[in-house]
Structure 1
Amino acid sequence: MPEITVTEHLLATQMKWSPQATGQFTSLLHDLIVSAKIISRNVKQAGLVDILGGTGEVNVQGERVQKLDEFANQTLVYRMRTCGAVCALGSEELEEPLIIPENGSHGSYIIFFDPLDGSSNIDVNVSIGTIFSIYRRSEGATDAFRGERMLRPCCEQVAAGYFLYGPSTMMVYTTGHGVHGFTLDPSVGEFLLSHPDIQIASHGSIYSVNVSNDSFWDEATRECVDCFCHPDKGDPYSLRYVGSLVADFHRTLLYGGIFLYPADSKKPSGKLRLMYEAAPMAFLAEQAGGKATDGVCRILDKKPRSIHERTPLVVGSPEDVDRVSNIYRKHGRA
């Protein structure tokens, strides 16, 4: 089979579905990929070039900033500012959205990203990743871009994906026409198609949840988790939890099963960020035949009220997600 680069794959998709494409999206994706290659290189060298450990600062989320967090954020912000296609961006590491005045009248896209998901795992060499979500700016909006236009319904994403920095570096993305995975070949410096048209299984045998939070869960959430580890019939699911959303989601996407980060008494609105984490993963899951909810309501039906809004997340195989939704509804969740 011929080796297909991610750019070649994107161009073929555009010729089929968007023959009127201007090239801005391709330019954006190119700079996103270059950013990921730079981040991947530094992740692999982190123990040798003094970029492990924290900076001593705390980000807008109240989390300790790691040196690689800061490096990844700076890399992505620089590339997105200079690619010419982005009129505004939101980063999990920045308190406010960044409007790009020089692109305000012509940049066609808005991007949200989590520069380095799972950064608490950096120092112990566990897989981490970068998550991104892309929206097209409002049709006909050619004047200077204003920040309030960033709060768009999650269903309006035009692309989403992630880069996984593990034993190999992978890119998984969708533009609304299926989900495709690419693996970075360091010998040629290109992401090559390795996982075409990914489809999630209708149900799985693995559940992923941070069970150390069980003392903060309500009765409904405990019942949801219990239905996988102590089912009424069939074999119990195996528990796998890395603590890096990209790694846990990637396994769920390829093997099937379910990932849960429910609301609890500590975080009644949930922990994961809607725009940077839940929405892009929901878009990927649905494009692969899966489902994503906050327990009951579809993630892609949500309209954010702030760029750092949080949400519970239940994502994975459709039958497994439905089991959770049915339990929550039984307990009166709506």
Structure 2
Amino acid sequence: MKQVTVTEHLLLHQKESPMATGRFTSMFNELILAAKIISREVNKAGLVDVLGLTGEVNVQGEAVRKLDDYANAVLIHRMQRAGVLCAIGSEENADLIEIPDHLPKGDYILIFDPLDGSSNIDANVNVGTIFSVLRRKEKSECAARLCEVLQKGYEQVAAGYFLYGSSTMMVYTTGRGVNGFTLDPSVGEFLLSHPDIKTPERGKIYSVNEGYWSFWDEATREAVSYFKGSDNERGKPYSARYIGSLVADFHRNLLYGGIFLYPADMQDPKKPKGKLRLMCEASPLAFVIEQAGGAASDGERPILDIEPTELHERVPLFIGSKRDVEKVVEIYRKHKK
């Protein structure tokens, strides 16, 4: 059977997608190289000094782990030199990262979470890199301003993630379906392994940290009870599966069908809108799930319709199989009346 690499896949679809230009493909190749380097270090995590904390705190107020720091540095270094970006945004950095004056620039913008789920890395749990690609609306030789970066999710030209686990996978969309590629370590290439991914219309898994039950409002409790009980479309409880690594929970539910929930914590002043970041987590995964036939909402609006007001804006997230997400929205609307 002919194995298609991710680069070949991009080139094959250039005629179908105006976004898949040579410069776009070049950017993706740099992103893929960065992911390969990160994957190598993740796979050696128990053998080299990359576990544990750096002693620093990031812009989110979270302790920075060594692999977080490493992954962030690799991505920034590689992508600044890609020659096609005008700005970079990272979960780990408070402000936009500019492209140095001496390096070539382009009109693409890259937003990423360098190592999602890294709090679990010491326990050998799956982690990943989530990315979002936007395009500058007006050409300019000047550095991109924050207002140019704060675009709605539906304006993304590409989004996806790399998953580092028993195998390393890349899943991405350019707005024309979702495809998954698995890294073959013997040849060092991502090969097409999951073509045209479609998530089930209704799932059988719910993923949520029920330890926060007492922090939730009545709408959230009713939604979770719907999936836990038998009075639902399935006529029996959904299976509870929660890894605590967003990209890993999302990937499993994408393939098997289900819903991931991270609601607002009404009694936690640190997370009044939940924990997850709109631009580097919720929005790119929402783009992926919608292209696979699923849905993503904050309980009121589709995630892709939300216009960000700041780089690190947080948002509640309900994402997964379409009918499951629609049920959550229905419950929230009922409680709003």
TM-score by length of 2: 0.96
1:262 aligns with 2:263: yes
Aligned to 2:237: 236
Cα offset, 1:148, TM superposition: 2.7
Q: 1:297/1:124 Cα in 2 relative to 1: closer, same or farther (>3 Å)? A: same
Distance of 2:184 and 2:215 partners within structure 1: 44
Q: 1:208/1:22 Cα in 2 relative to 1: closer, same or farther (>3 Å)? A: closer
Aligned to 1:327: 331
Aligned to 1:39: 38
**Secondary structure, counterpart of 2:336 in structure 1:** coil
Cα offset, 1:144, TM superposition: 4.0
Alignment of 1:25-174 (within 5 A): 25-102=24-101, 106-174=105-173
8 Å CA contact 2:10–2:20 kept in 1: the answer is no
**Secondary structure, counterpart of 2:163 in structure 1:** strand
Aligned to 1:248: 249
Cα offset, 1:146, TM superposition: 2.5
Superposed CA offset, 1:262-287 (max 9, x none):
01221221210000100000000000
Q: Equivalent pairs: percent with the same residue?
A: 63
The count of aligned residue pairs is 332
Residue type at the aligned position of 1:330: K
8 Å CA contact 1:99–1:146 kept in 2: the answer is no
1:10 aligns with 2:14: no
8 Å CA contact 2:13–2:20 kept in 1: the answer is no
8 Å CA contact 1:101–1:145 kept in 2: the answer is no
1:301 aligns with 2:305: yes
Q: Tell me the C-alpha RMSD between the 2 structures.
A: 1.5
Residue type at the aligned position of 2:66: K
Stretches of structure 1 that go unaligned for 5 or more consecutive residues are none
Distance of 1:6 and 1:112 partners within structure 2: 20
Residue type at the aligned position of 1:255: Y
Aligned to 2:176: 177
**Secondary structure, counterpart of 1:163 in structure 2:** strand
**Secondary structure, counterpart of 1:31 in structure 2:** helix
8 Å CA contact 2:180–2:195 kept in 1: the answer is yes
Aligned to 1:205: 204
Distance of 2:33 and 2:285 partners within structure 1: 22
Aligned to 1:277: 281
Cα offset, 1:46, TM superposition: 1.2
Aligned to 1:194: 193
8 Å CA contact 1:91–1:276 kept in 2: the answer is yes
8 Å CA contact 1:87–1:104 kept in 2: the answer is no
Distance of 1:146 and 1:236 partners within structure 2: 48
**Secondary structure, counterpart of 2:13 in structure 1:** helix
Distance of 1:255 and 1:9 partners within structure 2: 24
Cα offset, 1:227, TM superposition: 0.2
**Secondary structure, counterpart of 1:253 in structure 2:** helix
